[in-house]
Amino acid sequence: MTEWWRDAVFYEIYVRSFADSNGDGVGDLAGITARLEYVRDLGVDAIWLTPVYPSPQRDFGYDVTDHCDVDPRYGSLADFDALTARAHELGLRVILDYVPNHTSDVHPWFTEHPDRYLWHDGPPPNNWVSVFGGPAWEQVGERSYYHAYLREQPDLDWRNPEVREAMYDVLRFWLERGVDGFRVDALRQLLKDPQLRDNPPNPDFAPGMPEYDSLLPLHTTDLDELQEIVAELRAVIGDRLFIAEVYVEIERLMRYYAGGAQMPFNFHLLSTPWEAEAIGDLIERYEAALPDGAWPNWVLGNHDRPRIASRVGAAQARVAAMLLLTLRGTPTLYYGDEIGMTDVPVQRSDPDGRDPERTPMQWTRDGGFTTGEPWLPYGDLTINVEDDPHSMLALHRRLLALRRGFAEEGYRTLHAADGVLAYARGEHTAVALNLTGEPRPLPVGGELLLSTHLDGGARGLRADEGVVLRI
């Protein structure tokens, strides 16, 4: 089994928002294919496509009606094949979003094979809550079905062998089309407590938190027996890449490596305070927890979370880029973060209010995503791909080129205090990040290789500056 992902950089493409080839305002596969040279020239190695399957789009593709086809809004299977072929010509790998936990309620299975879903005879049997809020059971006549997300997204019953085999056939279908791996959506939700016991209350719940957080999902997520399915997924995926979407504590995340996922997504930077001490502690705990032979990975943004430039500010977003792309492990970059896109206030159509971080890619000063009306509005169009050489894009290109010199090197914390995080990568490279808006002393000496300011520096750390040094 090759391990090409170890020194790779992944680039998430939200399909609806990347590039529209036909002017209908919605991104599509042909549009992505036309922009693949940009992706290659950025310096990444693999693209991850959000779901392309036919869907009513209640959850923008995560409510699937056919796992083995392409939604006409995005194109056709022929368009998918053309995208994959062109990506491979350019040396890019293609990772497909695989949605095994649930389908749309208009999927043919829901009426033709209702036994493939999680039903209870009678009214809702427990207190389980949907991720999007409200009861997670929908009563239909004298029965109720479970939905971890929208009521239009009934959960499949993964204790049913017929479900497992049908969903493994989905993987085989796309493997035969040449995909290089899968990002497995909502993996921790696949199995639920067979006794349907109530989830216990969350003692840390406070007013203002999402309703889902009022309970600890003890009986609805991350069950111990799930690792059997993880191993089965690994066997079907074979020598391709298996990325697991699992929001769990670091210690429990490690179990997914043992089960066979090469990259159980590490989302902890998304919720860690933007402070040197907190980030330094997270890195140390994560590195210490990794099983022998396991490879780390890092995420700072995705289609479910506010953009990094909105979370930490435009100046610190440059420091965040240096952090993401210089840590030991495989980073995943969210489209548009490389130019500093921010959340855009929009009339929310997404069930969980995630539209602000899903707005169209800003290619030019007039948008450039579509010749029509974009499905969501653009943000500040002074932020775009064709901007000046001191842009975020220039910084990302230089970082992506530079990291190849130490991608496989080890990690060692040098300093994590007073707003500055510094670490060594191997014996000859150091990174120092000022996570504050005030100048700070540089805690390590060396020859400047790159500053987030893209000019001079290295006598000290200027406000909102990160540097890479040769030591």
Catalytic residues: 185, 245
- For residue 315, CA distances in Å to 1, 132, 332 come to 41, 32, 20
353: nearest Cα among 60, 12, 148? 60
Q: What type of residue sits at position 38?
A: Y
Q: What type of residue sits at position 166?
A: A
Helix 276-289 × helix 250-259 angle, to 10°: 30
Q: Sign of torsion, CA 411 412 416 421? A: negative
Cβ atoms of residues 346 and 355 within 8 Å: yes
Buried-exposed string 151-179: b where 16+ CB fall within 10 A, e elsewhere: bbbbbbbbeeeebbeebbebbeebbeeeb
Buried-exposed string 394-410: b where 16+ CB fall within 10 A, e elsewhere: ebbbbbbebbeebbeee
Cβ atoms of residues 405 and 398 within 8 Å: no
| Number of Cα atoms under 13 Å in the Cβ half of residue 198 | 7
Q: Supply φ then ψ for residue 6, to 5 degrees.
A: -60, -40
Buried-exposed string 217-235: b where 16+ CB fall within 10 A, e elsewhere: bebbbbbeebbebbebbee
Say how far apart CA 385 and CA 320 lie, in whole Å. 19
| Number of Cα atoms under 13 Å in the Cβ half of residue 56 | 12
What would the two tokens of residue 77 be?
Answer: 């299977």
The radius of gyration of the chain's CA atoms, rounded to the nearest angstrom, is 22
Other beta carbons within 10 Å of 289 = 16
Say how far apart CA 145 and CA 111 lie, in whole Å. 13
Say how far apart CA 408 and CA 329 lie, in whole Å. 8
419: nearest Cα among 439, 401, 395? 439
Other beta carbons within 10 Å of 143 = 14
